[in-house]
Structure formats: C-alpha cells, structure tokens
A and B are shown apart, each in its own frame.
Chain A
C-alpha cells in the first residue's frame, strides 16, 4: 500500500519505532527525553502512550551506565533501542559500547541485539561538542554495525532492520536529514543492512557518500548532468560492514573515484574507501582518487568561522572538474542558496 503524501525522516523513524514495538514486545525504547514534549525531535512521539512506561522511558543523565544497562537487557533477551540527542553526549558511554557491546558475541557467543540512535548536529552554532560526526570511530571497532541513512525511506527501513538485527548497531541520524521529505512505504518494509544504493547511474566518476553528503552530491550530480558529465552516485547506507562489491563494480566501470565524508578527513570512512579502491581496483583507475571531508579541526561555533567549513555541492563540482580536467564548471546549475549557510532551511531559527 502506498500513501499520497510524503513524510519527513523524523516521522519515518517514528513509524519504524511504532512498528517494531507493536511487533515485538521485547523492543524497549529509552533515553533522556524520549517521553518529553519534544519527543527527540518528534521521533519518539506517541510511543509511551501506546506501549506504556515500562517499555518506553526517560532515563537519568547517565549515558555510560544506561548503555551498560541496555547491553545487559539485550543479553537477557530484550531489544533495546536507545537514543541520544547528540552523538557527543554518547561519548561518555564508549566503554560499554566498545568493551562490552562489540565484544560479547565474539568472546562469549552471546548476541547483543541493541540499537543506539545518535543524532549528529550541524549549524546554528552547534560548535565543537554538539556537531561531531564520528562514524569512523564506530566503524573502526570490530563487532559494531554502523548505519547512516540519507533519506526518509531509508531512515525507516534501515532502522527496522537495525532493531531486528542481532548485533549492536550504531544508527547515525544527521540532524538536517530529520527534515528530509520523501515517499516512505507504509508498513514493515525493511532496507537490508550492508547494501549500498546507486542513487544515480553514470560513467564519468564514482561518487561515494553517506548521510547528509548524499544530498549535497545529488545537487552536484544534477549540475554536472547539465554539463554532460554523468556521475555515478553510491549511497552507502551502511558504513560498517561496507558494500565493497557495489563500490568496486562502479569504480571499475568509471575508473574514477571521489569519496565524501561528513566527518574529519584523517582516518575517515572516505579515506578507507580511497585506500581500498586504490589497492583493489588499481589497474582500473584512470586518475588518482579524491576525497572530500571536513577539515581536521574542531568545529567552531561562530557564523563567521563556519562559512567555509563544510564542503558541499560546489566543492564536489570543483573536485570532479579537477579530476576530469573540465574547461568550465557548471556552477550556475547548482541550486541557489536562499538561506544562511548554517541552517537547513529558512524556517529553521534555532536553537537545536
């Protein structure tokens, strides 16, 4: 069945949570603020009313302890879904995540069916400790799965798969994507973990992206199309384990690679993609692969300092232009920005 209207990714996440909790009484939902009036940017709306305060509950401001408690509950047969309004707050819980959640299946043969939703902030002065995109850290830890949806349908489908997966999943939600509208299938329609999607087919350059960078890359691809350059855009959807087959097949076809990242460049997922593609697709490469990521620098708060901090569609077009030696860049086909650089849309007026 399909509905007429689109919904945004926050609503899609909410649908996934409702479906999962209705389907399996072992699914628990907890985290600071899940039952408050703002309902984690509306993603947890209606859950407590429907499923009760025993399964859906607010927590003390105790990230590390509560994560260990979630792991313990998962070991004992529950499927907890935790959430944190910023990834940065969850850093207090790295011990439990890394030393327990990631290790128990390997060490004790016991599954840890745990999903941890982390929201990554951007703009409006989120600054050094409310905006970190640390997907590479999580991906570096063997035993964790790391998921990064880029649109509303995937937000729902990937979250459903994450919740019903028997391994610990770090589910990374870019705050700006909560507003992304899209057609989302009704019902329990899952998107498999570990499978990338080709958002646009092309033969000139393979662009690999995840999360919010997929949006910027789509704008860039459309502008390049207008100039007759057809790029292939791969949306990774899951960054660990990563769908190398899809990436390699594309790189072997195009011979060129641009890897994008919402995190800092050094040690990034984009860096890993460049490294592996170079090792495994060397003979197919027609040009050195490129990477576009954030600078190796804490994010400043000031409007003035963030103006050139984030690479976007324009930088992607410039990269591709350089790689292909384009005589001119189709920058005029990029969407006009009607807003300040630090907000997702004119309607956004802070503070979170």
Chain B
C-alpha cells in the first residue's frame, strides 16, 4: 500500500514535465482495496480494472517498470505504448487488463469467470470498478448472468462517492444501498471501510473463500475517497464540487498511518520501507525515461492476429 502511494505521488510530481503524455487517474487516498484484494488473490486469479487502475495493477503484482514505461509511451511499456495509463496489462501477474470506458470491463471479467468455471479451474476473477459503473447497464447485465451461472467472480466496487465531479446525490437516490442492489441481483454482498486495509483484506479473503468453495459471485463495496483531481496530478478541491471539510475528514482517515498503527510499525520501520521503495521507483522512472519510443513505422502493426493477404 505504501508502495502504491509512493508510486502515485511520484507520477503526480513528474506529470508537469509533460513527458507522460496521456491522461492519468490516481488512486491516492484509496489504495487500501487495491493492496488488500491483491493479497487475497493468487497470481493465477485474474483481475480487471478501469481508467483508475495503477493501484490495482500494482496490488495484483504487475511489473512496475513496465507500467511507468507505458505512462511514458515507451516501447518497454506493458502495452508497448499503445495503451497508456488507462490500458495496463500484466498477464504474468494475472492482471488481464484495465479499460477506459466506464463499466466496460465488468462483463469481460464475468466472461473470464465463465471460462474458468467451464475449464474447472480453481481460479477466480476479480473486477474492480467504481460507484459510477454501477449505473451502467453492463453492470446489471453482467451481475445477473454471474448470479445465474454462479460464476467465480468477485465484484470489487470502490465507492469514492464521485463520478468525475458528480456526487452520488446527483446520480442515485439517497436511499440507494449498493449492497442491497447487488443482493437483489442475486450476488451476496458486504460493505467494508475501504480505508481500513485489514478490514478490506478480511472481507476479500472471505469472499474469495466463498467463491472458491463454489458459492458463486460476491460483491464487496469499499467506501473510500479520492484525494486528488479525477484526472491529473493536482488537488482540485478549490473547484468547490465537494463539500468543505470532506477531503480533510477523509485525509484524517488516511489508510496508511492506520495500518502502520495496527501493525505497530515504528517511524524507523516505515522510513526503511520507504527508502527501499523509493530506490525501486527511482529506477523505474530512470528506465522509462531512457527507453526509446516505439518506432512510428510500427504504429499499424498487429491490428489482427492473422493477417489476410490484401
């Protein structure tokens, strides 16, 4: 979790240099679910995510160097520069992909789970998405099918209260409870404090165990909060789309010191961890900056797996 935070802060710090030329959506403040689900899943389990996916990718064990290079559009990026921040992938870590259209990867995850079930694998698929995605038809349609076929899929919903600048109050009735909604669709659901890493981990472990036991899909709602702007490296609270004091209240619930306290980590422990991580991050940026861009002449390669003679 500390590693995710430090990576994202470094991205934010360097974004102004205009060398990461793609939109970036940071998870600073809401890293706990990514880290906790990552712990609960094995490398064989699959994960999919959204536009805001750096944390999920790293939590699942995705390669840091390949992610940073992808943000710089370099040939060494995890998609060779074709995808950028919103399209990450690391098959070796079981991070199938993130995609940039809201709700878009939820049915994909259910489809992967269908294949897992048909193959008789012991693996499952975890789909990360935000509160906004629960408003897309694709969510209902996919969750319904997952329930119908009792598929091994874990719906990990990070409810950070906003879709861009739109608060939940403008998008869903005040009485809405996402867990009740999921249950109504036939998916057992639980809500957890998304800024409490250990609580999320416990909920994730339980859901994973139930799914592995053949219990069908599970839905875990993690309540959390995005600190910085929806897209980009800065804070944007001065725009006034969030009530005064809301950010501060959530910052006071920063998941990192909370976990450090619970684990009784000393200042020195934390500094040692941060130093080790900083070295790793420094190297990732160094490598990314030094790497070449993919050759422009390759831009049209690989549209098909099987090229047909023209």
Which residues of A are interface residues toward B (Cβ below 8 A)? 32-33, 36-38, 57-65, 88-89, 91-92, 124-130, 295-298, 300-309, 340, 342, 349-352
Contacts and interface: CB of A to CB of B under 8 A. Distances in A.
B171 A302 contact: no
Contacts of A130: 23, 86, 100
B271 interface: no
Contact of B137 (A62, A125, A127, A128): A62
Interface centre among B16, B103, B164 (most CB of A within 10 A): B164
Contact of B299 (A62, A91, A305): A305
Nearest to B236: A37
Given A124-B21, A127-B84, A351-B232, A59 B171 contact: yes
A349 B293 contact: no
Interface string B212-249: 00000000000000000001100000011100000000
Contacts of A306: 296, 299
A59 B136 CA distance: 12
Nearest to A85: B164
Contacts of B23: 124-126, 130, 350-352
The binding surface of chain A is classed by DSSP as loop
Contacts of A92: 101, 103, 136-138
A32 B166 CA distance: 8
Contacts of A307: 296
A304 B81 contact: yes
Given A62-B136, A301-B87, A305-B298, 8 more contacts: A36-B164, A38-B239, A92-B101, A126-B22, A129-B101, A302-B73, A305-B82, A309-B296
A101 to B, nearest CB: 17
A19 B265 CA distance: 62
Contacts of B241: 36-37
Contact of B300 (A125, A128, A297, A352): A297
B136 A61 contact: yes
Contacts of B138: 92
Contacts of A304: 73-75, 81, 292-296
A63 B137 CA distance: 9
Contacts of A61: 102-103, 132-133, 135-136, 163, 166, 171
Interface centre among A37, A92, A125, A130 (most CB of B within 10 A): A125
Contact of B171 (A60, A342, A352): A60
